[in-house]
Amino acid sequence: MAESAKRKDIVLVVEDDVLVRMNTADVIRDLGFSVLEAVDADQAIALLESTPAITVLFTDIQMPGSMDGLRLAAVVRDRWPPVALLITSGQVSPHTTDMPSGAHFIQKPYHPLQIGDQLRELTGAQTGQP
């Protein structure tokens, strides 16, 4: 059994594009993580409030709603400091000073191996192959 499965790491994927969100969630599940999905920041915050075991936020930057992914990541860093942050975008490449401390960024389109590498680095988990 993968170490991540033993630890029950839960990745919250926040993406407004349903196909991208479903594909990303499938890739992350194949790596041995549990996955929750949210369509926007408001839904993500509700899930974080109701599921304290979430260990990673994987969010797109550009999405509709009350805040974008960078603002969501900042809120998560403030309210849930232990949650690791993985930020992505196909439109924006934020400077490290624009992201919360410790956040990682991957550019879309990303490859499943990139997701695995980032999650392994953020959680210390031994992930399976996508």
Task: Find, among 11, 12, 75, the residue nearest to 39 by Cα.
Answer: 12
Output the CA angle 25-50-58, nearest 5 degrees: 30
* pLDDT band with cut points at 50, 70 and 90 for residue 117: very high
**Percentage helix, strand, coil, to 5, in the chain?**
40, 20, 40
Percent of the chain topping pLDDT 70:
91
Residue pointed to by tokens 């991540």: 4
* pLDDT band with cut points at 50, 70 and 90 for residue 76: very high
The predicted model gives 38-65 an average pLDDT of 96
Predicted TM-score (pTM) of this structure: 0.90
In this predicted structure, the answer to whether residue 2 has a pLDDT above a threshold of 80 is: no
